[in-house]
Amino acid sequence: MRLIFIGDVVGRIGRKVVCRELPRLCERVSPDLVVVNGENAAGGFGITEEIFHELRDAGADVVTLGNHAWDQKEALVFIEREPRLLRPLNYPAGTPGRGAGLFDTASGKTALVINAMGRLFMDPLGDPFEAIEREVEACPLREACDATLVDFHAEATSEKMALGHFLDGRASLVVGTHTHVPTADYHVLANGTAYMTDAGMSGTYDSVIGMDPAEPITRFTRKIPTGRLAPAKGEGTMSGVAVETDDATGLALRIGAIRVGGALEPALPSFWLEEPAEAP
């Protein structure tokens, strides 16, 4: 199976680059499953129903969220009727929406997608390890689904890498979000789980995590907020990750970075794009 995950879409610039580049990429590589983190899609803060559909139209089979899930209050309502919008699993019982779902792909496969939030340096939710374990045990890879993809929205690299190893052999992909910076540590772990500490954001990197630098710099240097945080202007980058799984096991064969547009060094999953050498 071919899995694509795109990191936190930030504001209009993020949506623009994703809506332009994701369909193009999907057309080239025909992924089985596309998951997009949309927690910052509405002006940097949360998501609206309209924007959710925009991301769906661009190719997202499932949209995940994070600590900004509820910045737009309407998300608390429309998430109830959108099974393809996931919020972190480890919110308290009674929170609107779901944190995991089993989805049928167009190619006739099934994929378990989980969204959870870390706790180190973040607002404390329920234990993400325990919550994810429960979902994964209830729907084991290969026995009950063809792929398992976990979007772990967390700050600390240690918590993310620990989750990767915790799930190694039981998930197809563990990918981090939230720091808004793509990492270059993507690789397949010893037991077959593809891992990447952070998918990066989809937005402009001429910024401070997607936002105009002036206000963050003021806050760091003067310690007095002077205005609001607003998405930076500039050219957007779509940032994410591509994973090829083994149909027999659901585990990962290859993982590669996706970076299209903007200031960063471009990257595409070459293993899906390079033509095999032609026979003479």
Question: Which among Fe ion, a copy of itself, none contacts residue 216 (Cβ within 5 to 8 A by kind)?
Answer: a copy of itself
Position 192: which residue type? G
Q: Hey, how many other C-beta atoms are within 10 angstroms of the C-beta on 156?
A: 17
Cα 237 to Cα 24, 41, 125, distances in angstroms: 14, 14, 31
Of 34, 42, 50, 36, nearest to 71 by C-alpha is: 42
The stretch among 78-86, 103-111, 140-148, 192-200 that binds a copy of itself (CB under 8 A) is 192-200
Encoded tokens for 246: 């083994």
Exactly one of 27, 143, 224, 275 binds a copy of itself (CB under 8 A); which one? 224
Nearer to a copy of itself, 121 or 143 (CB): 121
The SS3 of residue 10 is: coil
Annotation marks residue 165 as catalytic: no
- Min dist CB 237 to a copy of itself, Å, is 9
37 is in an annotated binding site: no
- Min dist CB 263 to a copy of itself, Å, is 4
Q: Distance between CA atoms of 152 and 65, rounded to whole angstroms?
A: 10
Exactly one of 67, 179, 193, 204 binds Fe ion (CB under 5 A); which one? 67
Nearer to a copy of itself, 111 or 229 (CB): 229
| Per-residue exposure over 206-216, b if at least 16 CB sit within 10 Å of its own CB, e if not | bbbbbbbeebe
The SS3 of residue 164 is: helix
CB 26 within 8 A of CB 55: no
Q: Distance between CA atoms of 179 and 164, rounded to whole angstroms?
A: 17
Q: Hey, how many other C-beta atoms are within 10 angstroms of the C-beta on 122?
A: 16
- Please report, as residue ranges, which positions from 170 to 189 form the binding site for a copy of itself (by CB under 8 A): 179-187, 189
Nearer to a copy of itself, 109 or 219 (CB): 219
Residue 188, strand partner residues? 194
Contact status: 200 vs a copy of itself (CB under 8 A): yes
Mark 112-131 with x for binding to a copy of itself (rule: CB under 8 A) and - for no binding: -------xxx-xxxxx-xx-
Question: 145: which DSSP letter?
Answer: B
Question: Which among a copy of itself, Fe ion, none contacts residue 62 (Cβ within 5 to 8 A by kind)?
Answer: none
Q: Distance between CA atoms of 171 and 150, rounded to whole angstroms?
A: 8
The site for Fe ion (CB under 5 A) is made up of 8, 39-40, 66-67, 178
The site for a copy of itself (CB under 8 A) is made up of 70, 76, 91-95, 119-121, 123-127, 129-130, 155-159, 161-163, 165-166, 179-187, 189-190, 197-198, 200, 205-209, 213, 216-217, 220-225, 256-257, 259, 263-265, 267
Task: Write out the catalytic residue numbers.
Answer: 68
Q: Cite the annotated binding site for Fe cation by residue number.
A: 8, 39-40, 67, 153, 178, 180
